[in-house]
Amino acid sequence: MRAVVISQYVTSLRGILRACNAEGIEPVAVICARGRGKGVVEPALSQQARSIVAGTTKGIPVLVLDSPTQLPDALRMTRADLAICRGFPWLLDASSAHIFAHGVVNLHPSFLPELRGPFPVDWAVRRGAHQIGVTAHLMDERFDGGPILEVGSAQVGDSEFGSEIWARIDEAVKGTLARALRKVRDGQQGRPQDESRATYAGEFEAAYAEVDETASVRSVHAQVRAWSLGTQRISGPAALVEGNQLRILRSSLRPVDGKQLQLRDGTLWISEWQLM
């Protein structure tokens, strides 16, 4: 079986390629994007695309696209039997799945159908979750819809931020995908999602970019960790700390060297920040 990998994240890509090789699936191409679909190249996505090109196993072609109109032809030209998608900035429509004999396996970092949408990990961390889901499902016409093949999870601790959380998820993606690929190879179609449990994980509201000093220590610590994921517009919430307006990048529930922020129920310790 031949597969094309559609991804924007080089750390996830490596695990996906390893899972394919372990399950006897031949990766024949990788597809990534340089923009969000408006024909404009975005610096962050362009850098991700360069990382994908540099990090892809030698001999596997990488197709870097600028517009969603290029996607159908790019998918067809791979002549793959299966597509595997993880962290792509464009919505693949239902027609994409019909290009492949075995459909499109999407890897979504939540316990679907909970937290569908572009920012599931952000919301899980905001809510203080210590277990973040990874769901492998066969895509259909709905956003993050389609039958579930396999579910895994990543354990994350209160002291983990940004890249540490993503590393946990990438490891869970690899194992979840490997189990899902076995089911695809065996012709299994998965189980339907329970629509009564569906929720949506959209962008954070503007007010969440600032610390509410009447909030609890744990909720503000979760706020700092959620922004640290780097998927939204800022790298940390703003707060007045010891007379200075700061952007908090890393915090702790236990005493550490740095600054202190007094909140409703105690002290949040700040170890990394930026002056604003």
Residue 233's pLDDT is what? 87
Residue 96's pLDDT is what? 84
136 and 31, same domain (yes or no): yes
How much is the pTM? 0.94
158 and 214, same domain (yes or no): no
Which range, of 7-16, 123-132, 246-255, averages the lowest pLDDT? 7-16
Residue 126's pLDDT is what? 98
pLDDT surpassing 70 at residue 164: yes
Residue 42's pLDDT is what? 80
- Angle at which helices 10-22 and 43-55 cross, to 10°: 30
Mean pLDDT in residue range 23-42: 86
Of 178, 197, 216, the domain-final residue: 197
pLDDT in tens, 60-111: 999 999 988 899 999 999 999 999 999 998 888 778 888 999 999 999 999 9
24 and 154, same domain (yes or no): yes
Distance between first and last Cα of the chain: 53
Which residue bears the tokens 């990874």? 134
Local structure of residue 81 (DSSP, 8 states): S
Q: How many domains does the chain have?
A: 2
Q: Compute the distance between CA of residue 147 and CA of residue 106 in angstroms, rounded to an integer.
A: 10
Confidence tier at 25 by pLDDT (50, 70, 90): very high
Confidence tier at 255 by pLDDT (50, 70, 90): very high
Residue 165's pLDDT is what? 98
Residue 227's pLDDT is what? 98
130 and 246, same domain (yes or no): no
Tell me the β-bridge partners of 116: 200
Contacts of 66 (CB under 8 A, 6+ apart): 33, 34, 35, 39, 41
78 and 164, same domain (yes or no): yes
CATH at residue 235: 3.10.25.10
Local structure of residue 87 (DSSP, 8 states): S
182 and 221, same domain (yes or no): no
126 and 229, same domain (yes or no): no
Confidence tier at 43 by pLDDT (50, 70, 90): confident
Q: Compute the distance between CA of residue 220 and CA of residue 236 in angstroms, rounded to an integer.
A: 11
Confidence tier at 259 by pLDDT (50, 70, 90): very high
Q: Compute the distance between CA of residue 272 and CA of residue 252 in angstroms, rounded to an integer.
A: 10
Note whether 237 and 246 are within 8 A (CB).
no
68 and 25, same domain (yes or no): yes
Of 168, 197, 226, the domain-final residue: 197
pLDDT in tens, 202-212: 999 999 999 99
CATH at residue 94: 3.40.50.170
Residue 38's pLDDT is what? 67
pLDDT surpassing 90 at residue 253: yes
Contacts of 170 (CB under 8 A, 6+ apart): 9, 11, 12, 14, 15
More confident residue, 140 or 249: 249
242 and 183, same domain (yes or no): no
Domain that holds residue 238: 206-275
Confidence tier at 39 by pLDDT (50, 70, 90): low
177 and 233, same domain (yes or no): no
Q: Compute the distance between CA of residue 109 and CA of residue 122 in angstroms, rounded to an integer.
A: 10
Of 147, 176, 197, the domain-final residue: 197
What is the CB neighbour count within 10 angstroms for residue 264?
12
Q: Compute the distance between CA of residue 253 and CA of residue 150 in angstroms, rounded to an integer.
A: 35
Confidence tier at 44 by pLDDT (50, 70, 90): confident
212 and 190, same domain (yes or no): no
39 and 164, same domain (yes or no): yes
Local structure of residue 189 (DSSP, 8 states): -
